[in-house]
Structure 1
Amino acid sequence: MKNQRGVAISGLLLWGFVIVLIALLGMKVAPEYMDYFKILKSVKSISAGASDQTVPQIRAAFDKYADVNYLKTINGSDLDISKEGNAVVIAFSYEKRIPLFYNVSLLIDFHGSSSGN
């Protein structure tokens, strides 16, 4: 009698279900991380040239970046702007709730700063 090799249909269905769940989770979470990295890039580019600007000018510059990059998550008034030495540090934090299914959702806390901390 020969030994059988291969995958049983139950194993195939189980692994297919797991792969589909991971793919769906990735499709829901990936856009939020892309928005986070767009915000971080905008904040870093604004802080690089903001040594002589006032706080309202920095907030207005971020709002312009947000309009161009279609960022609706935060706006200029949500930024924490401070000065460390001669450098302007722009920090932000926000929460994003991603509905997964029925009454289950995923909550992600995003924090970022132009100083890299």
Structure 2
Amino acid sequence: MRPFPKHQSGLTFISLLLLLLVIGFFATVTIKCLPLYLNQMKVSRSLHAIAEDAELSSSDAVTIREHLHRRWLIDSVDGLRPEDVKVRRSAAARSLVYAYEARTSLFYNIDVVIRFSGDVPIRLPSIE
């Protein structure tokens, strides 16, 4: 007959509950924050497409914002308006600059706030 071990190993019920609680918390945060990051990806993709468009490289800010507005209507972008995108001019080039906060409710009265910003250089007009 084998003697009983002096120390048991493995998860107890309480440690299993704590592990599931931690996993559940991080799953909730991921599920709530994922749409914000997907929206940011649409914003970034649209701005890069506008900045690389050869026809818009020498356009004014109003025309660029109109094209951006059309793209964002198609892509269903939330949280940022075309008016919030600034066209910054420097001596060497122009760029599209944006900064915004995305907010979502985690649970009850706790919110998650994520700040996004970017600076996308506009392609220089080609000389033909």
Distance 1:72 1:100 in 2: 18
**Corresponding pairs, count:** 115
Paired residues of 1:62 and 1:75 also in contact (CA < 8 A) = no
The offset of 1:86, in angstroms, is 5.6
Paired residues of 1:40 and 1:113 also in contact (CA < 8 A) = no
- Alignment counterpart, residue 22 of structure 2, candidates 9, 18, 21: 18
Extract unaligned runs of 5+ from structure 1: none
Q: Provide, for residues 5-49 of structure 1, a one-character-per-residue CA deviation record: whole Å limited to 9, x for no partner.
A: 321111111000100000000000111011112101111111122
Q: Which moved more, 1:18-27 or 1:68-77?
A: 68-77
Question: For the aligned residues, what is the CA RMSD?
Answer: 1.5
- Alignment counterpart, residue 60 of structure 2, candidates 54, 57, 76: 54
Could you state the TM-score of these two structures normalised by the residue count of structure 2? 0.81
2:117 paired residue number:
111
Does structure 1 residue 41 correspond to structure 2 residue 48?
A: no
Does structure 1 residue 79 correspond to structure 2 residue 85?
A: yes
Distance 1:114 1:100 in 2: 31
Distance 2:13 2:31 in 1: 27
Extract unaligned runs of 5+ from structure 2: 122-128
Q: Which moved more, 1:64-73 or 1:81-90?
A: 81-90
Does structure 1 residue 96 correspond to structure 2 residue 102?
A: yes
2:124 paired residue number:
none
Structure whose CA Rg is larger:
2
